[in-house]
């Protein structure tokens, strides 16, 4: 049975062949970045700089040196949140946030005596902007929010959120894990202070890659300190970018693959990719809307959407639906709570969870049709059992 992979919001599986080729080449040619002046080290350093430049241009960062690489968006968000939020300060987020935002904030609440406010999400997946604006009146020092829900795919009006945050005197940290590479993202146009991304989703790079783009004038206290390849006799880590946020040997092999993914996106056009994934989401949603007992979650509560369709089938545990899709039809999806506990509470799915279908530039309309057909059969079986 050939697998139909519809779990791209977790990690992309199909990638441009250039990505694997770049990693393989790097494994045999690269030394340590900034750890020597021999050809192997210089080759690694040049490749990483070119990756910074390409990522900067794709995501609208000020310049290449304001892009710091990290193992993933989680590490980047921890770096930004912990490096900007001081003890006793107030922070604001939304119920759409992933645990990669929530847990660092709640840790700051528990260990640094910070106050954390959470703007609610409505049942349709939309942000309660009135509540968000009201919470900004409490003068938070930091707002950390997701660009798009990893559960429903709703894309939020980040430009408006960031502008309001700045008017209230707060810095704005953006989680772009679900949007970078999947729809046009321009840090400067959005007006955010730090944009955190991961490499293994929409950017089509290897796992273990990601990073953050930091606006000029925003100084993040280093989360880690250690080797930098320079200023060895200083007792503390260098404070110039990007070195201040890249302690230790960089994953140059992975970054080479990430650069290849970025190059593919720039060649194909992120707007075109977004339109393709959007069409697939609409195709799936239209098919699902005709199924009795199937509830679609969100998808129309923001200013746009990513290539995600999330749903429940009757009152059946989402894990059972996903397991049936995988075992009987060879369709890979993601079930459960998706590391988005407050979003599930807002949608009333905390107990049941949800089944998430998520698409990539390589997903086909035929694959979506096959998934919809399988889901229809499962939903009908559930209905017959329920009414039998």
The catalytic site residues sit at: 339
Q: Which residue, among 55, 23, 19, 70, has the nearest Cα to 362 in the 3D structure?
A: 19
Angle in degrees, 0-180, between the axes of helices 17-29 and 252-268, rounded to the nearest 10:
150
- CB within 8 Å of 378: residues ≥ 6 apart: 313, 321, 324, 325
CA dihedral 377, 378, 380, 384 (to 10 degrees): 130
Helices and strands in the chain, H and E counts: 12, 15
Fill in the DSSP letter of residue 127. B
CA distances from 221 to 88, 162, 170, 242 (A): 16, 21, 17, 12
Give CA–CA dist 312/291, Å, rounded: 11
Task: Report yes or no: 281 and 309 within 8 Å, Cβ to Cβ.
Answer: yes
- What the block records as the tokens of 47 is 């490749």
Phi first, then psi: what are they for 354, rounded to 5°? -145, 155
HSE at residue 130, side-chain half, CA atoms within 13 A, is 1
CA distances from 247 to 23, 227, 235 (A): 22, 6, 14
Q: DSSP of 259-313, one letter per residue?
A: HHHHHHHHHH-HHHHHHHHHHHHHHHHHHHTTSTTEEEE-SSSSSEE-SEEEEEE
Q: Which residue, among 221, 307, 233, has the nearest Cα to 272 in the 3D structure?
A: 307
Give the three-class secondary structure for 382. helix
Over 167-184, what HEC string results?
HCCCEEEEECCCCECCEC
- What the block records as the tokens of 284 is 């799936």
- CB within 8 Å of 275: residues ≥ 6 apart: none
């Amino acid at each position: 049975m050939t697998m139909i992979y519809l779990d791209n919001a977790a990690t992309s599986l199909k990638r441009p062949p250039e990505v694997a080729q770049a990693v393989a080449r790097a494994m045999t040619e690269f030394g340590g970045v900034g750890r020597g002046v021999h050809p192997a080290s210089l080759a690694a350093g040049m490749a990483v700089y070119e990756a910074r430049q390409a990522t900067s241009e794709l995501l609208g960062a000020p310049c290449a040196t304001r892009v710091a690489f990290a193992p993933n968006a989680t590490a980047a968000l921890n770096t930004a949140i912990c490096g900007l939020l001081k003890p006793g300060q107030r922070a604001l987020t939304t119920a759409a946030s992933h645990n990669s935002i929530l847990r660092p904030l709640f840790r700051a609440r528990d260990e640094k005596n910070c106050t954390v406010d959470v703007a609610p999400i409505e049942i349709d997946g939309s942000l309660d902007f009135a509540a968000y604006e009201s919470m900004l009146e409490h003068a938070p020092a930091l707002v950390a929010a997701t660009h798009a829900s990893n559960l429903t795919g709703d894309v939020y009006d980040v430009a408006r959120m960031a502008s309001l945050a700045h008017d209230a005197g707060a810095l704005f940290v953006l989680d772009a894990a679900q949007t970078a590479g999947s729809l046009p993202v321009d840090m400067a146009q959005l007006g955010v202070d730090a944009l955190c991304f991961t490499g293994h989703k929409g950017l089509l790079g290897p796992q273990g890659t990601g990073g953050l783009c930091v606006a000029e004038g925003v100084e993040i206290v280093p989360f880690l300190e250690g080797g930098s390849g320079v200023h060895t006799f200083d007792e503390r880590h260098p404070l110039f970018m990007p070195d201040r946020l890249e302690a230790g040997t960089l994953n140059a092999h992975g970054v080479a693959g990430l650069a290849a993914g970025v190059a593919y996106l720039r060649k194909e056009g992120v707007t075109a990719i977004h339109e393709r994934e959007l069409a697939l989401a609409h195709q799936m949603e239209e098919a699902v809307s005709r199924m009795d007992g199937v509830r679609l979650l969100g998808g129309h509560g923001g200013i746009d959407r990513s290539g995600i369709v999330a749903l429940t089938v009757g009152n059946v545990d989402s894990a059972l639906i996903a397991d049936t899709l995988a075992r009987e039809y060879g369709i890979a999806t993601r079930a459960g709570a998706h590391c988005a506990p407050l979003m599930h509470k807002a949608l009333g799915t905390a107990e049941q969870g949800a089944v998430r279908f998520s698409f990539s530039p390589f997903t086909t309309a035929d694959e979506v049709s096959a998934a919809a057909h399988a889901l229809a059969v499962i939903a009908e079986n559930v209905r017959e059992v329920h009414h039998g």
